[in-house]
Amino acid sequence: AKVYYWTLKSKNKEWFSSESEMRGLRNHYLSCCVNTLLQTLNATWELADLLEKWKPAGVRAEDNVPFQLKRVLKMMQEDLPHPAPHQDFLHCLDRNRIRLSTQHDADEVFLTILDFIQRQMDDRTLAIEIQSLYKISVETQVQCLECNNVQTRNSHLLSLPLHIKEDRNSLKDCMISFFEQQELRGIDCCFCAQCEAKTPTKQGVKLCSLPQILCIQLKRFRNIRGFTRKLNCSVTFPEKFNFSELRREAFSSDFTQNDCRYTLYAVVVHYGDAMFGHYTAYVRQRLSNRWFYADDSHVSQSSWENVQKTEGSPYRGTAYMLMYRKDPKEDDQLPDLSG
């Protein structure tokens, strides 16, 4: 379900401090969603480094999303005391059907930008490297409960969509729920090739490999009888997350990575409800390792304590997307999958 937003501005003033180490982005034509994503992509220095290696040849610059993204990320890294110009990027998205003056869902726009990178870069090697930054490889198993036949399919995700309960949640509990097996019966039955009929099945997802950048979507928006509403319930999330703490059933037998620890570096925050709202971001600056808060052209230094206040409340902004970066390998341990 699509989610719609309105734009909040405080007295229409822009604010930037030379000590903020970040450049803001003016709000043009309801661009708070794109502005917020640009701040998180700018904090993903691995992406900017790969784009900087790209030497485009023969692309139509004004219509090419990765070309314009490369330009705007470079301008955002310049140490200048005013918001970074990004109208060319916004108009490029508009020409690629992410329309200006239209309200968008942040996770949808994020995945669409990654898709444009794959389709519009003329360097396939670099395009695949960028996709690999976010690529979560998974194995889906479907077991027929009539004949016990198991069908396995390998695929990948670029963000992890986690269902949340209408109560208190923790990121770890949401992860455990995502990887738990579920029984499918009635209209949800799956076709079994061995039985040649739709039968009750058990379905589960297992991790095959983890990416350098782990993007998580907290599914706060739910469609009930044709109406979308937002869940403001609490979802606690840690500054550091260790996948080896998950149950061994979450991992496929082929999982061999020994780098399973992650540190949070960006949070996409949503204010409002399912029909009206506003996006902002908390990002961790690369050099100083300090948290900053970006609300369009307003940028200010913040703290982990303020980030935690987005865990869930109907009166505050709530975390909608979390971005974690994998820790250096020497600090990690292979998860114990022995049982």
- Residue-level pLDDT at 163: 95
Residue 338's pLDDT is what?
Answer: 47
The predicted-structure confidence for 231-290, as pLDDT tens digits, reads as follows 999 999 999 999 999 988 899 999 988 889 999 999 999 999 888 889 999 999 998 999
Q: Decide if 56 is inside a domain.
A: yes
Distance from C-alpha of 41 to C-alpha of 70, rounded to nearest angstrom: 10
Q: DSSP code of 327?
A: P
Q: Is residue 59 part of a domain?
A: yes
**Which of 132-136, 242-246, 303-307 has the weakest average pLDDT?**
242-246
Give domain status of residue 98, yes or no. Answer: yes
319: nearest Cα among 240, 227, 219: 219
Contacts of 134 by beta carbon, 8 Å cutoff, 6+ apart: 114, 158, 159, 211, 212, 213, 214, 215
**Distance from C-alpha of 107 to C-alpha of 218, rounded to nearest angstrom:** 10
CA-nearest of 146, 153, 141 to 199 is 146
**How large is the average pLDDT for residues 149-178?**
94
285-300 burial code (b ≥16 CB/10 A, e <16):
beeeeebbbbbbbbbb
Q: What was the pLDDT predicted at 313?
A: 85
Least confident window among 6-20, 46-60, 118-132, 312-326? 6-20
The per-residue b/e assignment along 152-176, b for 16 or more CB within 10 angstroms, e otherwise, is eeeeebbbbebebeeeebebbebbe
Whether 112 maps to a domain, the answer reads yes
Task: Quote the pLDDT of residue 337.
Answer: 54
What pLDDT does residue 20 have? Answer: 57
Which of 262, 214, 212, 258 lies closest to 239 in space, CA to CA? 262
Catalytic residue among 28, 32, 147, 190: 32
For the chain, what percent of residues have pLDDT higher than 70? 91
Q: 320 phi and psi, to 5 degrees?
A: -115, -40
| pLDDT, average across residues 165-173 | 93
The residue-averaged pLDDT of 27-33 equals 95
Residue 148 lies in a domain: no
Burial class (CB in 10 A: 0-12, 13-18, 19+), 283: buried
Average pLDDT rounded to a whole number, residues 106-131 = 98
Distance of CA 242 to the CA centre of its chain: 18
What domain range is 118 assigned to?
A: 22-133
Residue 10: its pLDDT value, please?
39
Q: What number is the average pLDDT over the span 30-47?
A: 97
Q: What is the CATH number of the domain that holds 100?
A: 3.90.70.10
Helix then strand count (H, E) for the chain reads 8, 18
For the chain, give the number of residues.
339
Tokens for 106, please give them. 């942040």
In a domain, 214, yes or no: no
Task: Give domain status of residue 336, yes or no.
Answer: no
Residue 202 banded pLDDT, cuts 50, 70, 90: very high
pLDDT surpassing 90 at residue 81: no
| CB-based burial, 21-38: b 16+ in 10 Å, e otherwise | ebbbbbbbebbbbbbbbb
The helix (run of H) or strand (run of E) holding residue 223 is: strand 221-224
Higher pLDDT among residues 177 and 16, named by residue: 177
Residue 83: DSSP 8-state: P
pLDDT at 336: 55
With a cut of 60, say whether residue 205 has pLDDT above it. yes
Q: Which helix (H) or strand (E) holds 52?
A: helix 45-53
- Asked if 32 is an active-site residue, the reply is yes
Q: Is residue 103 part of a domain?
A: yes
Catalytic residue among 104, 270, 278, 298: 278
pLDDT recorded at residue 192? 92
pLDDT band at 330 (very low <50, low <70, confident <90, very high): low
> Which pLDDT score, from 0 to 100, does residue 226 have?
82
Count: domains in the chain: 1
pTM of the model: 0.90
Rounded to the nearest integer, the mean pLDDT of the chain is 90
pLDDT tens column, 70-80: 999 999 999 88
